[in-house]
Structure formats: structure tokens, C-alpha cells
A and B are shown apart, each in its own frame.
Chain A
Amino acid sequence: MSTQDTDFVIEGHGDISVGVHGAGASGDGSASATRITPGNALRPEDIALEISRGQVKPTEDVAEFALRVGDDGLILAQRLGHWISRAPELEEDIALGNIALDQLGHARSFLTYAGAAWGKSEDDLAYFRREHEFRSAHLFEQPNGDFAVTIARQFIVSFYQYELYTKLMESTDATIAAISAKAVKEVDYHRDHSAQWVLRLAGGTDESRARIIQGFKLVWPYVDELFEDDDLTTRLAEAGVTVQPSSLRAEFDRLTGNIMAEAELEIPGVPQALGGGRRGKHSEFLGYILAEMQVLAREHPGASW
């Protein structure tokens, strides 16, 4: 992956000192406990830089695929962002915020990369496409509902994304592989977060158990769509860019099944919805999500923010 060659240096994070050295009794202890370094990871800006230097450019097929994965993350982040300031406990505000930020980060990277095929930026794609041009699966646009619905949705999403990103790390497309390598660690934590909560809600009170059962019932119809193969995935699987989504299913079933069994929950026997998100056919929800997300950007076309 070419980010390793581009010698980017993280800078401009500014002076975090606030003149607290005279803090006296605060001592060194608190200083070392609050050490802040940004860390070193692939960012959407790095991908944009490579694109502008002509170092990377996806094929049409790869771009279309990146759009799917990116839109999934974007729409989910849009949903999760709504929880911030509304979570069941302040600690959970922060946890859900972290997950939303992770998802948004993945989305930005994938959309930035996808856009390179058509000379578009991440924002062009996020703010100026119309409903039928979005490629996210239906699961991601499902409403937050109560905390149980959100957790049920997170549970399916994170176990699906973990399988996907794990395979994408081996992608013949270096940029897809690099984005996935960063994303996989984050969704691994999302798996843990959702699994912890599935166990607690299922094994907590009668009310929480009833709610998580209902939550799974609401989101389970959208599982099959995640694992559907089509012409694009067939071509890309042959090229080694990705794998057929159907090939991820067995492991997804096994891992989610283990947690469900542990939580003494049944896989809901609900019919699977037809889906169609990958072809731009969405539920009623996406229109409202986009209306809200895009309203300001569209009021000022061409403006910079």
C-alpha cells in the first residue's frame, strides 16, 4: 500500500499545553495519564492526497464497490450520531459516539477512494447524490428505535463488517486493503460492544429481554441482503478485490449464533426482506436521512466549509 511510501507526518495538532505546569499538586501523575498523541493511521486525507498525486485510482468496478461499503458506514454513522446526548448513560453516549466516528471514518475513506474514479470528492458523493444513487443496504437505514433496536442492528452490522473487512485486508486493491486493515480493528471492538450489550439486555430484566427480542425481530429481515452476490461482486471476486458476500455468511452465522445461544436468544423466524439497496432501491427511511444530511450543503452548492 502506497501510504507506507508517502512519508506523511502528522503535524498541525497544535500546542496542547495550557500553561498548567504550575498545577502543583496535580503532579506528574496526571500529566502522564493524559498524554495525548494522535497516533499514526490511514486517514481519508491521506487517501485524497494520494489521489491528487495520481498515485491511486480505482477502476469503475472497484469504485462502485467502495461506494457500497462507504454508504453503509455513512448512513449508519448518520443514524448513530443521533444518539449522542440521548444515550441511556453518559458512558454510553461516549461509546456510541466512538462507534459513529469509526463508521464515519471508514465511510470517508471509502467514498474518497470511490470518488477518484469520477473526479468527485467524498462530499460530492455524500451531499449531492440522490436517493437512488446510494448503494447502502437496508439494514443501515433502519431507525434507531430504542437502545435494544440499535444494539440489535449494531450486532448484525459489526459481525458482518468484521468478516468483510477481514477478507478485504487481502484485497488485490491496495487502497481497499489498507482502509480495511484500519477498519477491521475498530469493528472488532464494535462486535465486542454489541455482544456485551446483547448479553446484558437478554440476561438482564424481563423488560430488557422482551425489548432485545423485539429489537432483533425488527432488524433481522435485513440480514440476507448483506450476503447477496451479484454481477459486480462476482467480477470483483474473480479479480481478488473482494470475496463473494455469500462466502461470509457461514462464519457470520456461527459467530452470531454463539452469542445468541449464550444469551439464550433464538434467531428470529422472520421473513427476509427483498432488499435492493445495492441497486439503489431503498426503504422509505433513506429519503428522510438524506433530506436532513444534505439540506445545508445543497443550500450552498459549490461552497466550501
Chain B
Amino acid sequence: MAPHGNPEAPASAASEINREAPKVAATTNVDSTTAGSVSAPDVTSGGAKEESPWSLWEVFVRSSRGLSHVHAGSLHAPDAAMALRNARDLYTRRNEGVSIWVVPAEAISSSDPDSKGSFFESPQGKDYRHATYYTKSEGVKHL
């Protein structure tokens, strides 16, 4: 298995991930800027190596107000605060975003690729969910 979940299909992308990391200002208590415990890197693994690598984060960028956050890619960071900053530097250096989410890759649950059929094929054939199914009203104004 890959060392992290499927970054391609976050099952809960719509859930609000509000793990802000406000900038360090004089009055800010910096303790509050770092992420919750989810960001604690796994320091127990990789016993063979002395160094524990920075963990993997998935980055979602809102390109302008009114649009959804879209998965932009991933990066490595020691914690959520740095992940946000790295994401800012890496994924918005060409003015691509107005808001960023970062999510620990391991926190993403995804649908099982082996059960594609049972998961995603049921809606097929249910044409009546789509406006195009209703043809008799064609030509009627404002409908």
C-alpha cells in the first residue's frame, strides 16, 4: 500500500477543514498557530533511519472567491503551520489562490477502488434525476 491514503479522491473534501494558522504577530500566541495533534509526525516509524522525514500533506487551493477549494498537489512539512506556508510558497507563487487548505495525507479516507461497481454505478440509469429526461415540457418558456 502507498504510505498514505489516496490523495486523488478525498472522501470528505467538502467538509470544512478549518485549521488556520494565523501569522505570527507580536500579540499572537504562537502556541495556537500550530495544528492539532493530527499534525504530529509519525516519529516512531523508520527505526532504521535516525531522521524522521517531514510528513506528507495534501494542498487544496481556492483560486478565487466563490469557487471551491481544488486539490492542487502535495508537499512535505513538519506541521500544519509550516504546511500552509509551504503551500503558499509552492502552489500560489503565480497568484493562483486566495485561500489554502492543507490536510495530512494520512487523514484522508477514500473510497475503495476495488468496489467501484457497487459504489458508483448505481446512479447510472437513473435518468429521471436529470432535467434532460423530461422532454414533453420542451419549448415551454421559463421551465
Mark A residues whose CB is within 8 Å of B. Answer: 29-30, 32-39, 89-91, 94-95, 98, 188-189, 191-193, 195-196, 199-200, 254-255, 258-259, 262
Q: Does B17 contact A (CB under 8 A)?
A: no
Interface CB pairs A-B, < 8 A, 25: A32-B70, A33-B71, A33-B73, A33-B91, A35-B63, A35-B64, A35-B96, A36-B95, A36-B96, A37-B95, A89-B76, A91-B82, A91-B86, A94-B86, A94-B89, A94-B90, A95-B86, A188-B23, A189-B23, A191-B24, A192-B24, A196-B82, A200-B82, A259-B26, A259-B30
Residues of A within 8 A of B72 (CB): 33-34
Near A by CB (< 8 A), chain B positions 80-94 give: 81-82, 85-86, 89-91, 93-94
Output the residue of B27, B70, B72, B76 with the most chain A CB within 10 A: B70
Q: How far in angstroms is the closest Cβ of chain A from B23?
A: 4
Contact between chains at A262 and B30 (CB < 8 Å): yes
Q: How far in angstroms is the closest Cβ of chain A from B70?
A: 4
Q: How far in angstroms is the closest Cβ of chain A from B66?
A: 12
A191–B77 CA distance with the chains assembled, in angstroms: 19
Contact between chains at B96 and A259 (CB < 8 Å): no
Q: Does B61 contact A (CB under 8 A)?
A: yes
A95–B95 CA distance with the chains assembled, in angstroms: 15
Residues of B within 8 A of A90 (CB): 76
Contact between chains at B54 and A89 (CB < 8 Å): yes
Contact between chains at A29 and B70 (CB < 8 Å): yes
Residue B24 contacts which of A33, A38, A196, A254 (CB distance < 8 angstroms)?
A: A196
Q: How far in angstroms is the closest Cβ of chain A from B103?
A: 14
Output the residue of B72, B73, B82, B89 with the most chain A CB within 10 A: B89
Residues of A within 8 A of B64 (CB): 35
Contact between chains at B54 and A29 (CB < 8 Å): no
Mark B residues whose CB is within 8 Å of A. Answer: 23-27, 30, 54, 61, 63-64, 67, 70-73, 75-78, 81-82, 85-86, 89-91, 93-96
Residues of A within 8 A of B78 (CB): 200
Q: How far in angstroms is the closest Cβ of chain B from A83?
A: 13
Output the residue of A33, A38, A191 with the most chain B CB within 10 A: A33
Q: How far in angstroms is the closest Cβ of chain B from A196?
A: 6
Given A34-B96, A37-B95, A91-B75, also A195-B67 (CB < 8 A): no
> In chain A, what residue has the closest Cβ to B72?
A33
Contact between chains at A95 and B94 (CB < 8 Å): no
Q: How far in angstroms is the closest Cβ of chain B from A206?
A: 15
A30–B95 CA distance with the chains assembled, in angstroms: 15
Residues of B within 8 A of A36 (CB): 94-96
Contact between chains at B85 and A196 (CB < 8 Å): yes
> In chain A, what residue has the closest Cβ to B82?
A196
Residues of B within 8 A of A29 (CB): 70-71
Given A34-B96, A192-B24, also A95-B63 (CB < 8 A): no
A19–B26 CA distance with the chains assembled, in angstroms: 48
> In chain A, what residue has the closest Cβ to B95?
A39
